[in-house]
Structure 1
Amino acid sequence: MKKIDLEAELKVAILLLESKQAEEEKMLKEQFHLTYESVKPINMIKNTFKEVVSSQDLKEDFTTTMFGLTAGFLSKIIVEKITRNPLKKLVGTAVMYSVRKAIVNNPEAVKLFSQFVLKHIFRKKEMNTAKS
């Protein structure tokens, strides 16, 4: 910093430093407020939830798992509706877990199969509307 000789220059320099100090104080208070808000437990939970919801991998894993559970449960219901035998109900439970495990472990195969089925369903609908 250069040497100040005159009283007027000294006053100007003091005013500049005071305004700089006030600006830095304001910025520091804003940063403190932002930090304080981000450390609140509810905000931490919200931010974590937003990150989880926005994760594409998690969405795909959740969808695959739900599809597997649903398919397994439906297969169990179908097997149990066919028979009232307790042994066959046990087989129904085993089928449910097997279907669920197969779907969860092979999501790409399930996705390809679903696309294949949907493609053929829509193709048949298009053919029927074209014939009409």
Structure 2
Amino acid sequence: MKTNNETEELNQMILVAQAQNETDLRLLQEQFELTYESLKPANIIKNVFHNMTNTPDIKDNMVSSAIGLTSGIMGKKLVVGSSHSPVRKVIGTVVQFAVTNLVSKYTGGFSAIAGNMFKSFFNKKSSKTN
């Protein structure tokens, strides 16, 4: 027969195992809740936008693309105007594509040139009012 000492040790080991099991179960439930919350569509979208706005490369690329697209549309409007000619529309689309690509590739240079143009324009305007 087993002695009391061995039985007590066995009971103690069972209690430790049960406590560990309860701790593991609680941690698993908490992790499940976190995973469930993170997989909700609203949280996924929020995380994507958060990552996009906090990543400098993506932010710079978005700004470059927006500036390029805006410049391309303005270039097309200048070429086509209010014309209904299919030839002018095709030329306008080609101009839009070319300007968009050039400006989005070289945004830094175009930004500096545009900034200088605005500064000189506003400096001339303010010097005329003085």
Provide the TM-score with structure 2 as the length reference.
0.64
Per-residue CA shift, 1:19-55, capped at 9, x if unaligned?
xxx99987775555334423x2322332122111332
Question: Is the alpha carbon distance of 1:24 and 1:81 closer, same or farther for their aligned partners in structure 2, counting shifts above 3 Å?
Answer: closer
Question: Is the alpha carbon distance of 1:74 and 1:37 closer, same or farther for their aligned partners in structure 2, counting shifts above 3 Å?
Answer: same
Aligned counterpart, 1:112: 112
Instruction: Give the length in aligned residue pairs.
Output: 125
Aligned counterpart, 1:93: 93
Question: Is the alpha carbon distance of 1:41 and 1:29 closer, same or farther for their aligned partners in structure 2, counting shifts above 3 Å?
Answer: closer
Distance 1:89 1:30 in 2: 60
Question: Is the alpha carbon distance of 1:29 and 1:92 closer, same or farther for their aligned partners in structure 2, counting shifts above 3 Å?
Answer: closer
Equivalent pairs: percent with the same residue?
A: 30
Question: Is the alpha carbon distance of 1:87 and 1:48 closer, same or farther for their aligned partners in structure 2, counting shifts above 3 Å?
Answer: closer
Letter in 2 for 1:45: I
Question: Is the alpha carbon distance of 1:92 and 1:31 closer, same or farther for their aligned partners in structure 2, counting shifts above 3 Å?
Answer: closer
Question: Is the alpha carbon distance of 1:93 and 1:25 closer, same or farther for their aligned partners in structure 2, counting shifts above 3 Å?
Answer: closer
Distance 1:36 1:94 in 2: 48
Distance 2:26 2:76 in 1: 65
Distance 2:125 2:80 in 1: 33
2:53 paired with 1:48:
no
Measured on the aligned residues, the alpha-carbon RMSD in Å equals: 3.8
Distance 2:57 2:88 in 1: 37
Provide the TM-score with structure 1 as the length reference.
0.63
Question: Is the alpha carbon distance of 1:49 and 1:112 closer, same or farther for their aligned partners in structure 2, counting shifts above 3 Å?
Answer: same
Aligned counterpart, 1:61: 61
